[in-house]
Amino acid sequence: MVFSSIGFLFFFLPALLIVYYIVPRRYREVRNFVLLGFSLFFYAYGGPRFLILMLVSIAINYVCGLFVAEGHSDKTRRFFLVAAVVLGLGLLGWFKYSRFFAESLNALGTGLPVPDVTLPIGISFFTFHGLSYIIDVYRGTAKPMKNPLRIALYISLFPQLVAGPIVRYATVSDKLGQRHENLTDFSEGAMRFVFGLAKKMLLANTLGIIADKAFGTEAGALSTSFSWLGALAYTGQIYFDFSAYSDMALGLGRMFGFHFLENFNYPYIAKSVTEFWQRWHISLTSWFRDYVYIPLGGNRCSRLKNIRNIVIVWFLTGFWHGAAWNFIFWGLWFCVLLLGEKFVWGKRLAKAPAALRHIYTMLIVVLSWVLFRAESLPQVVSYLGAMFGLGVTGAADGQTLYLLKEYWPELIVSVIAVTPVKNTLRSFLEKHRAPVSRQLLLWGPRLLGLVLLAFSYLKLVVGSFNPFIYFRF
């Protein structure tokens, strides 16, 4: 089940809101139980047989969490920490990577049987949620939860269950027992959800149509203009798709009293690759920083070890996104660029004009998304070649012009929407305290939200193209 589906919007969410808010606020555990039950149903709807895997993951983290806490011997705490990490990553490794390893080894002539394993939805996210809990408790930055239902709710909470953001246990542990739902949070959460839904339905899906046409074209049949249009469209699609899901997740969380941290901060205005990754998928980059990079020594070590730490983190970042060589090379591609900015050309880059730094960053990002989107390494080579005029049918073609004419409104809005124009407008209105400005601040977003909601529902009911990219990971 996805947030932008008829089943979720017309049945699941209304039913949950009614049942949840019928229960008086003082019966906190009953409300938690309702939210847990609906969250497990939400997950089981997409694959009932994987619900057992989810429950096993919850059980592992609950039991190990009790024994990694202070009060037990160091030997016991380390044993259960290792057990939780090995079991959690073991399940992730089997379901997500066993087929990849078997096929890679078979390419070398080993003749291993290839496991017929289906990837459970959201396993990359709920595994990291569980590890966050165990490590936070082991470090003493969070207290162990003795109520198993609360741990189950943390790991299975439906807004962030299948596509993030990666919510740290330490940031929501208090809210599991003492959150205070109110009308202000609910209305602001609903507005955040509506704008996320519109971003998904009106922008991401449209750009996805263009990107799929370009990347679905056979090698040698692409023109240079069409390959660039497809790459730029996918650059917009993946941002609007994933940030839309994060917006909807944060909005839903707030409707139930949870305050999740932001996951995106206008990454396409970055002026370096380093800044881009400070703004893109913040929950993932901060997770690897705090649970992998810093424990390895971070930058408080020799330069050689620091480089080793960065390589490990970005290898894992690429591999986390998918069991394929193009994801590994995608992570290592960014690794090389980040090392370059850190040790080679970063100081000279900082002195360059802002416009030049932005062009440099976006060119790298667009090329990186080709590596991310392509189905295979040969397609990466042929597609990048087409972008630079190698093996193409020509510099331009009629299909490029047709798509530009067909989708020009969405393309223009997309270019505007990747910039913080909303924040600039709000700041302008807040400075001008005239009655008109106050009314625009109060009613403008609400009226715009209603209009966008109407258009989003219209797109939905006509059965338009509606995938979610990060459901693959």
Catalytically active residues, by annotation: 321
Q: Measured between alpha carbons, how far is 334 from 126 in angstroms, rounded to an integer?
A: 25
Question: Kindly report the CA angle at 368 between 366 and 371, in degrees rounded to 5?
Answer: 120
Q: What is the dihedral of CA 378, 382, 388, 390, to 10 degrees?
A: 130
CB 334, CB 314: distance < 8 Å: yes
Instruction: List beta partners, residue 70.
Output: 72
Q: How far is the C-alpha of 444 from the C-alpha of 440, rounded, in Å?
A: 5
- Residue length, the chain? 473
List the one residue out of 89, 101, 112 whose CA is nearest residue 325.
101
Q: Is 303 exposed, middle or buried (0-12, 13-18, 19+ CB in 10 A)?
A: exposed
Closest residue by Cα to residue 146 from 108, 110, 177: 177
Tokens 């003749």 sit at which residue?
A: 111
Beta bridge partners of 72: 70
Instruction: Residue 234: count other Cβ atoms within 10 Å of its Cβ.
Output: 25
Q: Where are the alpha helices (DSSP H) in 157-223?
A: 169-172, 175-178, 183-198, 205-215
Q: What share of the chain is helix, strand, coil (3-state, %, to 5)?
A: 75, 0, 25
With H, G, I as helix, E, B as strand and everything else as coil, classify residue 137: helix
129 and 65 Cβ atoms separated by less than 8 Å: no
The tokens for 451 are 């209009």
Question: Which residue's structure tokens are 């009790």?
Answer: 66
40 closest CA partner among 22, 23, 60, 16: 16
Residues 318 and 329: beta-carbon distance below 8 Å: yes
Residues 277 and 338 sit within 8 Å (Cβ to Cβ) = yes
- Is the separation of the CB atoms in 160 and 90 below 8 Å? no
Cα–Cα distance, 189 to 50 (Å, whole number): 30
Q: Three-class SS of residue 473?
A: coil
